[in-house]
Amino acid sequence: MIMTKLSTKNLVSPKGFKAAGLHCGLKHKKKDLAMLVSEVPASVAGVFTTNAIQAAPLGVTKKVVYETKQMQALIVNSGNANACTGKQGKVDAEEMQQLTADKLAIDANLVGVFSTGVIGEIMNMAPVRQGVAKLDLQDSLESAIDFAQAILTTDTVMKNTAYSTIVDGKEVIIAGTAKGSGMIEPNMATMLGFITTDANISSEVLQQTLSSLTDVTFNAITVDGDTSTNDSVVIMANGLAGNEPLTPTHPDWANFYKTLQVVAEDLAKMIAKDGEGATKLIEVNVVQALTDEEARKVAKTVVGSPLVKTAVFGADANWGRVIAAVGYSGASVDPDKIAIKIGGKLLVEDGEPVPFSEEELMQILKQHEVKIDVSLGQGEGSGLAWGCDLTYDYVQINASYRS
Amino acid sequence: MIMTKLSTKNLVSPKGFKAAGLHCGLKHKKKDLAMLVSEVPASVAGVFTTNAIQAAPLGVTKKVVYETKQMQALIVNSGNANACTGKQGKVDAEEMQQLTADKLAIDANLVGVFSTGVIGEIMNMAPVRQGVAKLDLQDSLESAIDFAQAILTTDTVMKNTAYSTIVDGKEVIIAGTAKGSGMIEPNMATMLGFITTDANISSEVLQQTLSSLTDVTFNAITVDGDTSTNDSVVIMANGLAGNEPLTPTHPDWANFYKTLQVVAEDLAKMIAKDGEGATKLIEVNVVQALTDEEARKVAKTVVGSPLVKTAVFGADANWGRVIAAVGYSGASVDPDKIAIKIGGKLLVEDGEPVPFSEEELMQILKQHEVKIDVSLGQGEGSGLAWGCDLTYDYVQINASYRS
């Protein structure tokens, strides 16, 4: 399999994409409006929040993904989620779509709309209108950074990744940018992910691929268990690499599929690591579960446990909280067959404590990435999940988010 | 319905109960060993953690509840949960049962055993043996307080309640003591509850009653969503009040049932209010759900949301987080029919924001009890749940619990 990580490349690295981002005035100072456009209409696929309450832009964007089945441009604002905003919210999301279409002289049905920020406040459209007019779309690194910055809310860092692979002897680039920090939980919680590629692939195949990859990437992270009203991941594939259409029977399918998986996993892990107030990325790897699904369930339960998260923050090798979370995950477990490792050190075998050096474990738990391995002795299922520690800063950030 | 709250009475207020508590040495300084005994074998009922990993004492105690179907005494230690301790854990729990039986000269099958504290450490039995010998069982207020203190872990306050009612013209007293602060979540998470009564009632009727009340009381609270390996609520009814056996067809059934419900609800709310690091009790009341079960599910989801909990801590009227939690609760909702009140003030009607005074709401959110009302417009179901805010102190307590 061929895959090369691109160190300086970014969302506009694939052929034919341009981006822009600026401060229009929805937030006090930081950038809050972004746009992405492809030279030609692109195949599109999307996955969206499972929350029963969905923000207005979701309705607009789902129509593009599921009915138009092509996307050429998208607009994103941060600072206001345009959620629980009733009829006016719908009108505003549609206006954002139309403003973008008019600016680019394309059909409005080819434009996706995304919002993230506070729920329940009507959009202030005047700055959005002025901002759209000012957006200067370019295919430069700077414009991709502007885009990546403009979609952030409580995030502390941008989240960019890009890889190249080879299909039919031609270079195919897959790049991604995401935001997400709080209200992150499996099932697309306050997270926006944008993936671009110049691969030639149909919307149908792209949708199947994205859906199947989402379970093991974006849906395998959790920050606080809250699922948001807005979250969405979309991928646009504009075909400009010139390869033969990709399908699972294409000889280079693995190159494309695995590269896309790594892009999605990179973005997911960056989101988990940048969880609100987080100081550490936690990776939980579950093996010997009855099924892969049960393994993922256990992994997500452990990584989502507030008691595990605070123990990791405190560099406390409190494996009792790990085993308690395994026990209430709902998966099939036999207490006498459970083994637990933290940072590669065996702490529990056959459900009973194994002596270990507290000092050594504390050093391991002080690293920026903490790995927890759980073996259930039930079958062949395995799965990963990522999350972060729970800190004073999480409380501070969320006790005063609106102010 | 007749029910009188007893201000100074306590776990040994019902006729024929004695208690004791002392420091034996499992903890550094605080009391850590407690015993309760009835003059005669009592009818018994219990509800236990649903965690697949169950601590050793649970096995011992469930046998008493489900096989002996009578209990005359119980022993509790704090400081060590005796969970994930393998065969030695079982031996130690059985020894605690036998030590109690020997001290009281009763059958070991009449003795329940309960532990709470750190998971995965083998019990230090020497102090327990010495402590059991020293315990001085009395029916005084002081002895009940010793008991209530000795079962605590990270709790900041004792949790006691007692009421009297009338059955067959005779006074029946129902009293309760509980512990629980972290790892609290529906389904009996790190919580111990002990209820005593001198009512005459069979174990069978008592079990049905406790089970049905648990859903709307102990299982309606959440602190952090972590379900523990140890938690248990038991009720002992020794019949010394001298009433005719209570059943649902007894003319005074409502007196007994409602009084027991209030005792259980009092204990549950005290546990929620004393959640680790909590400064506020949050009560969520859901109405117009499709069913009572869905209403409770929504109430528990809202009260368990870290984002709602931190907003309440920060006195931020962030109803967007409430509606997002309603949306991901899994219950049937129609976004356009949702109404939300905080502290009695209407903030959302038909799914859209209603203007309100931020200043007024902040004052309401600064109280020690915050009520959130959610109306779903779906049917006739209603349900309550209780929880607490998420604070810096929760993180501090749990980042260093074992040290």
Could you say which of A319, A333, A395 has the minimum Cβ distance to residue B390?
A: A395
pLDDT score recorded for residue A27: 92
Q: What is the DSSP string of A321-365?
A: HHHHHHHHS-S---GGG-EEEETTEEEEETTEE----HHHHHHHH
Which chain B residues are Cβ-neighbours of A402 within 8 angstroms? Answer: 316, 318
Binned at pLDDT 50, 70 and 90, residue B400 comes out as low
Q: Both A332 and A307 in a single domain?
A: yes
Instruction: Calculate mean pLDDT across residues A276-304.
Output: 93
Most confident of B106-115, B178-187, B359-368: B106-115
Mean pLDDT on A361-388: 94
What one-character-per-residue DSSP string does A107-166 give? -GGGEEEEEEEESS----HHHHHHHHHH---B-SHHHHHHHHHHT-SS-SS-EEEEEEEE
Identify whether A229 is a catalytic site residue.
no
Q: B84, A122: Cβ pair inside 8 Å?
A: no
Q: Do A119 and B54 touch (CB under 8 A)?
A: no
pLDDT at residue B183, rounded to an integer: 53
- Model pLDDT, residue A185: 45
pLDDT for position A392: 83
Percent of chain B with pLDDT over 70: 96
Which chain A residues are within 8 Å of B229, Cβ to Cβ?
A: 323-324, 327
> B267 with B285, same domain?
no
Structural domain ending residue among the three candidates B228, B243, B271: B271
- pLDDT (tens digit per residue) in B321-367: 899 899 888 899 998 899 999 999 999 999 888 999 988 999 999 99
pLDDT in tens, A200-213: 999 999 999 999 99
Distance CA A117, CA A122 (A): 12
Residue B115, Cβ density class (10 Å: 0-12 exposed, 13-18 middle, ≥19 buried): buried
DSSP state of A219: G
B320 and B387 together in one domain: yes
In a shared domain, residues A55 and A109: yes
CB contact under 8 A, A321 and B228: no
**Which of B246, B271, B296 is the last residue in one of the domains?**
B271
- Reported as a pLDDT band with limits 50, 70 and 90, residue B247 is very high
Query: What average pLDDT does the segment B78-100 reach?
Result: 94
Verify whether the Cβ–Cβ distance B319 to A351 is below 8 Å. Answer: no
CA distance A368 to A279: 7
Q: Which helix (H) or strand (E) holds B394?
A: helix B392-399
Give yes or no: residues B73 and B205 share one domain. yes
Average pLDDT over chain B reads 91
Determine the Cα–Cα distance for residues A213 and A342; give it in Å rounded to an integer. 27
Same domain, A224 and A253: yes
A-chain residues within 8 Å CB-CB of B227?
324, 327-328
pLDDT at A188 over 60: no
Q: Is A375:B374 a contact under the CB 8 Å cutoff?
A: no
Q: Report the residue of A328, A337, A361, A389 to disrupt the B interface, i.e. the one with the largest count of B CBs within 10 Å.
A: A328
Kindly determine whether residue A324 and residue B229, on different chains, have CB atoms separated by under 8 Å.
Answer: yes
Mean pLDDT of B215-224: 80
pLDDT band at A258 (very low <50, low <70, confident <90, very high): very high
Cα→Cα distances A11→A17, A71, A173, A197, A271, Å: 8, 16, 10, 9, 16
User: What does the pLDDT average to over A347-369?
Assistant: 91
C-alpha radius of gyration, chain B, whole number: 22
**Domain identity same for B51 and B124:** yes
Q: Which CATH number covers residue A323?
A: 3.10.20.340
Confidence (pLDDT) at A223: 64
Interstrand relation of B159-167 and B232-237 (parallel, antiparallel or unpaired): unpaired
Mean pLDDT of A97-101: 98
- The terminus-to-terminus CA distance of chain B in angstroms comes to 49
Q: Report residue B251: phi and psi, to 5°.
A: -60, -25
Residues B253 and B373 in one domain: no
B148's tokens: 């209530």
- Same-domain status, B135 and B44: yes
Contact A114, A63 (CB under 8 A): no
Q: Is the pLDDT of residue B185 over 60?
A: no
The pLDDT > 90 percentage for chain B reads 71
Measured between CA atoms, the residue of chain A closest to residue B331 is A52
Mean pLDDT of chain A: 91
Q: pLDDT at position B347, please?
A: 94
pLDDT category, A229, cuts 50, 70, 90?
A: confident
**Coil, strand, or helix at residue B19?**
strand
Give Rg (Cα) of chain A.
22
pLDDT over threshold 50, residue A403: no
Q: Is residue B276 part of a domain?
A: no
Residues in chain A with CB shorter than 8 Å from the CB of B348 are 84, 120
Confidence class of residue A231 from pLDDT cuts 50, 70 and 90? confident
CA distance A377 to chain B (A): 15
Shortest CB distance from A316 goes to which of B121, B226, B402? B402
User: Which of A240, A273, A306 marks a domain boundary?
Assistant: A273
DSSP string for A286-333: EEEESSHHHHHHHHHHHHH-HHHHHHHHTT---HHHHHHHHHHS-S--
| Res. A401 pLDDT band, cuts 50 70 90 | low
B189 pLDDT higher than 60: no
- Residue A13 above 60 pLDDT? yes
Least-confidence region, from A187-191, B207-211, B333-337, B351-355 = A187-191
Per-residue b or e along A360-392, where b marks 16 or more CB atoms closer than 10 Å to that residue's CB: ebeebbeeeebebbbbbebeebbbbbbbbbbbb
Longest dimension (CA), chain B: 68
What pLDDT was estimated at residue B257?
97
- In this structure, the answer to whether residues A150 and A217 fall within a common structural domain is yes
pLDDT band for position B51 (50/70/90)?
Answer: confident
Report pLDDT for A186: 36
Question: Which position has the higher pLDDT, A275 or B304?
Answer: B304
What's the confidence (pLDDT) of residue B182? 60
* Binding residue ranges of B for substrate: 153, 179, 190, 276, 398, 403
User: In a 3-state reduction of DSSP, which class is residue A246?
Assistant: strand
How many domains would you assign to chain B?
2
Per CB-CB distance under 8 Å, the chain A contacts of B351 are 53, 84, 86
Closest CA to A314 of B201, B29, B395, B150: B395
For residues B48 and B62, the answer to whether their CB atoms sit within 8 Å is yes
Q: Residue A33: what are its φ and ψ, rounded to 5°?
A: -145, 130
- The per-residue pLDDT for range A22-81, each reduced to its tens digit, is 999 999 999 999 999 999 999 999 999 888 888 999 999 999 999 999 999 999 999 999
Q: What's the confidence (pLDDT) of residue B187?
A: 40
Do A258 and A286 lie in one domain? The reply is no
Q: Mean pLDDT across the stretch A135-139?
A: 98
Question: Which domain range does residue B287 map to?
Answer: 281-399
Catalytically annotated residue among A49, A68, A190, A259: A190
Cβ partners under 8 Å of residue B99, min gap 6: B75, B128, B129, B132
- Give this prediction's pTM: 0.80
Q: Are residues B60 and B174 in the same domain?
A: yes
First to last CA, chain A: 49
Residue A75: CATH number of its domain: 3.60.70.12
Provide the pLDDT for residue B186.
36
